[in-house]
């Protein structure tokens, strides 16, 4: 039995073909209430957990999503790998609606979210120079291609605060000056928190539209965007099924050892209340004294 695969996504993934022993579980987190209960089950021989990022019925804005609680809850359920599936806009003519992009870099423009499990009383610093798991990302590309998805291996995701979409001036800057490939509102701080939790994390961005840089963007019919979104949901389910059959182990980035040298606060100066909250996220590197 391999480590549990966690999926964070939207309503199109509630019904995963072949998921056995499916059940919704409430998971308590010291970092708050997760977005929703978590759907658990087994796909083939692969344990799986699915978390609706915005909650069933889409009740959370991109800003109000409880990112820390979500990642902590998945870690508590035994997830070792987490794949983010999210809608996005495209900055590239060769990345049209309906295509998927397996992201390998981020530009974080969010500003109103809790971005770390650590804080005063337990200071921790992890590297996000390479913010995704290379092995899991490669497996996502392989899985996507195996089910006929037009997928791009690599791309930079611009994470904006939202909930409004970009102005045209912002869109042109992100595209032409900053070199971003896609834009969305939810992958940050999710990716950073997954690294702090020593999880293998991959981001699959599902393109629904061109952002406002595109001269024809204003002419796009909303019904066309919704149809693309629904089609992407079907593709995403197929990708998950294919990925579950061949989940990789290990990676070159060292996702599962990210905290080895990260905690800076001396053991005798650590805040016991914060340490208690970090039992799942950082339990591997906490000292016996911390755990008493």
Write out the binding residues.
11, 53-54, 86-87, 185-186, 209-211
Residue 98: other Cβ atoms inside 10 A: 16
CA 265 to chain centre: 28
Per-residue pLDDT of the chain (292 residues; tens, 9 = 90+): 468 999 999 766 777 889 999 999 999 999 999 999 999 999 999 999 999 999 999 999 999 999 999 999 999 999 999 999 999 999 999 999 999 999 999 999 999 999 999 999 999 999 999 999 999 999 999 999 999 999 999 999 999 999 999 999 999 999 999 999 999 999 999 999 999 999 999 999 999 989 888 887 665 556 777 788 888 889 999 999 999 999 998 888 899 999 999 999 999 999 999 999 999 999 999 976 675 5
Q: What is the pTM of this model?
A: 0.95
Query: Is the Cβ–Cβ distance between 123 and 85 less than 8 Å?
Result: no
- Residue 242 has phi, psi (to 5 degrees) of -65, -40
Q: Which residues belong to the annotated binding site for substrate?
A: 185, 209-211
Q: Identify the structural domains of the chain with CATH numbers, from first to last.
A: 85-277 (3.40.50.1580)
Catalytic residues: 209, 211
Q: With beta carbons less than 8 A apart as the criterion, state whether 212 and 167 touch.
A: yes
Is residue 189 left, alpha or beta, with left meaning phi > 0 and alpha meaning psi from -120 to 50? alpha
């Amino acid at each position: 039995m391999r480590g549990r695969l966690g999926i964070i996504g939207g309503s199109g993934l509630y019904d995963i073909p072949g998921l056995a022993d499916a059940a919704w579980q409430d998971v308590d987190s010291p970092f708050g209430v997760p977005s929703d209960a978590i759907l658990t089950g087994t796909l083939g021989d692969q344990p799986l957990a699915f978390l609706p990022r915005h909650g069933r019925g889409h009740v959370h804005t991109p800003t109000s999503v409880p990112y820390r609680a979500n990642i902590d809850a998945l870690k508590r359920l035994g997830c070792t790998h987490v794949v983010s599936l999210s809608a996005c806009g495209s900055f590239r003519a060769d990345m049209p609606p309906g295509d998927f992009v397996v992201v390998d870099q981020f530009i974080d423009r969010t500003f109103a979210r809790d971005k770390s499990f650590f804080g005063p009383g337990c200071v921790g610093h992890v590297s996000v120079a390479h913010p995704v798991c290379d092995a899991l990302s490669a497996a996502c590309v392989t899985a996507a291609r195996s089910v006929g998805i037009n997928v791009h291996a690599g791309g930079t995701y611009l994470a904006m605060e939202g909930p409004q979409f970009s102005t045209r001036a912002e869109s042109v800057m992100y595209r032409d000056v900053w070199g971003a490939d896609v834009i969305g509102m939810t992958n940050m701080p999710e990716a950073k928190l997954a690294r702090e939790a020593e999880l293998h994390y991959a981001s699959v961005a599902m393109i629904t539209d061109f952002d406002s840089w595109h001269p024809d963007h204003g002419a796009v019919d909303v019904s066309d965007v919704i149809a693309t979104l629904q089609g992407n949901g079907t593709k995403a389910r197929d990708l998950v099924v294919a990925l579950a059959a061949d989940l990789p182990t290990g990676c070159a980035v060292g996702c599962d050892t990210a905290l080895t040298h990260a905690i800076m606060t001396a053991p005798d100066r650590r805040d016991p209340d914060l340490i208690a909250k970090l039992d799942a996220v950082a339990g591997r590197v906490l000292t016996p004294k911390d755990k008493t």
